[in-house]
Amino acid sequence: MKRKDVQILIIDDDPSMSSSLAEYIRRLGYKVSAVGSVDEASSFVKIKQVHLIVLDCMLPKINGIQFANRLRSSRFGSGPIILISGIFKDKTFIVDAIKQTGAVGFLLKPLNLKDLRDLMEESLKEIVDNRDVSLSSLVSKHHLSAREQLKVVENVSEISGKDMPFIVSVMMFSEFTGHINIIS
């Protein structure tokens, strides 16, 4: 499965947090949706296949831990959940939350985006075709050789205007030459 076909759901009642997180995940190449309540999340999971959930522990009506357990008995089942919190920082709470929910990880706000990306990639490695890496991920993968960067560019199935600087950068700093055909 390609990254663009993997559905990530963010459940956080803070609109600025969920929108910035959604934008980051979108730039990694995933399909992402964000909801602000457990009711919206329940409805979303009923009608769409979700491959990974990023879940805030502090939500109105019901806390994230309780909702994660409710998700386990829904269509989402045993899918990967990443818990996030800006309030619950106690190590004992974190360990208990992971055990109770079967979450793949727990991240503290403000989020370390590299840790989030690493957790997501590890959790989804069985279903994601890793050859389909988003161009924007080249920014975070400084260890890739010029040839590896070029392979990423070659394997991209579609690009948007914001991807062009990455392509130009790869071409400029590699020893490869070529042409870019732009088709509308």
How far apart CA 87 and CA 56 sit, in angstroms, is 10
Which of 56-65, 75-84, 154-163 bottoms out in mean pLDDT, i.e. has the lowest? 154-163
What confidence category does residue 120 fall into, taking pLDDT thresholds of 50, 70 and 90? very high
Q: Does residue 179 sit within a domain?
A: no
Share of the chain above pLDDT 90, in %: 66
Q: Which ranges in the chain belong to alpha helices (H)?
A: 15-27, 38-47, 64-72, 91-101, 113-124, 146-155, 164-173
Alpha carbons within 13 angstroms on the beta-carbon side of residue 92 total 0
Residues 120 and 142 in one domain: no
pTM for the model = 0.74
> Measuring CA to CA, how many Å separate 108 from each of 49, 87, 100?
27, 8, 18
My answer on whether 72 and 105 are in the same domain is yes
Q: What is the CATH number of the domain that holds 116?
A: 3.40.50.2300
pLDDT of residue 132: 46
| pLDDT value of residue 133 | 53
Total of domains in the chain: 2
Separation CA 158–CA 151 (nearest Å) = 14
Q: Do 88 and 149 reside in the same domain of the chain?
A: no
Looking at residue 105, its amino acid is G
* 61 in Cβ contact with 37 (< 8 Å): yes
Do 32 and 71 fall within a single domain?
Answer: yes
Under a CB-based contact definition with an 8 Å cutoff, are residues 55 and 78 in contact? no
- 70 plus 51 within the same structural domain: yes
Please name the amino acid found at residue 87.
I
Q: Which domain holds residue 40?
A: 3-124
60 domain residue, yes or no = yes
Domain membership of residue 184 (yes or no) is no
Is residue 114 domain-shared with residue 155, that is, in the same domain? no
Q: Are residues 149 and 96 in the same domain?
A: no
pLDDT for 125-145, tens place per residue?
999 876 545 566 655 566 667
Residue 91 lies in a domain: yes
Q: What is the pLDDT of residue 95?
A: 97
